[in-house]
Amino acid sequence: MDVECETDERLQGADTFDESEEGIHFQKIINTYRCYKPYSLRRLCKTLAYLDSLPESHREKLVKYRHHLEELKKCIDANYEIMLEVIGDVCQMFENIEYKSCAKRDAKHRQAVKPTSVDVEKTYSVMKQIVREWSDEGAMERDSCFIPILDEINERFGNCSNRHDVSILVPGAGLGRLAYNIAVQGYTCQGNEYSLIMLFASNFILNKCKGSYLYTMYPWAHQYHNNFHSSDQTKSIRFPDVDPSAIPSGTDFSMAAGNFLDIYTESNKWNCVATCFFIDTAHNILAYIETIWNILKPGGFWINLGPLLYHFADMPNEDSIEPSYDILREAILAFGFKMVKEQTDVRCYYTQNLRSMLAYEYKSVYFVCLKPS
């Protein structure tokens, strides 16, 4: 069963879209995936060149290291084949827009839409996200964040005579696994994601993967530091760990592309909004809270888990507010929410390499808020 992909109505218009700002950005993300291999090999070749410049007495002690670097080339090649599959048919991924010229543009035009090094390194983040959401290796990390949310949904709505009548929204859905897990339990669920680089990958997994353990990927090939063993850097994972196409008939599951604040404007529409590592992605976090309040039906629940990293806090060219949790909690209550469950210091990880010498642990907040009837 194909998962519907929708997008912001403001982006409609296939005849003019390709030359718009959004169309150019779309092409840039395609190029970002295409640039994965040459960018990654440049980094690897830089290390090899420096290795060759070392004294012979040093090089002869690093023969195994050279062999390891040669293995990394194979890992990058394998990853690149997956990247090409991800962007294989993205020009038709949205129902209401066809990017007619994105595959036909002349080479000069495509070359003009150049991704930066920061852009290309986002493909590394996509691979780590695949580990987190769609591999056996990510199960522990995934479960620590998703199970509390899923359990709460079932506690609140599990006894409904028809779960299909319960509509649940997952903003910041990433690669769609949390939304998928909710939908397969019979609820009507929509995931929302703004990042095109994530949407390309989620479209590939949810709509193109017709089976489990279909692909082998090397997500840590670009982690050159904090490795106990060389094999840690070249370790493979297989994905997806479940068959995304084996979704029960009649399941209402969709992914919507676009800015959360722009798309979700209809009042009293959703029974539940589930946010996981999402609310701190806002420039103005109160705008997110206000939108959640407006779109929830009276008697609906907002379930949240995550830290307050505040993604724009240290970007000099971006405006941002970063209230502490105690201030944020007061604001949530001031909007009219009733906090019915709250737990602080929830220990969890996000896209961590379990074999690395370094790991970042979040002390997240988990809460459930009711919009009173």
Using a cut of 0.85, tell me whether the model's pTM lies above it. Answer: yes
In this structure, the chain runs to a length of 373
* Range with the poorest average pLDDT among 25-39, 110-124, 158-172, 359-373: 110-124
CA-derived radius of gyration, the chain? 22
Averaged pLDDT for residues 305-322: 96
Enter the CATH code of domain 9-370: 3.40.50.150
Task: Look at residue 93 in the predicted model and tell me its pLDDT.
Answer: 76
Dihedrals φ, ψ of 343, to 5°?
A: -145, 125
Percent of the chain with pLDDT over 70: 90
Domain ranges, ordered by start, for the chain: 9-370
* Range with the poorest average pLDDT among 96-100, 229-233, 248-252, 296-300: 96-100
Dump pLDDT digits (tens) for 32-47. Answer: 999 999 999 999 999 9
Task: Look at residue 91 in the predicted model and tell me its pLDDT.
Answer: 82
> pLDDT band for position 114 (50/70/90)?
confident
Task: Look at residue 13 in the predicted model and tell me its pLDDT.
Answer: 34
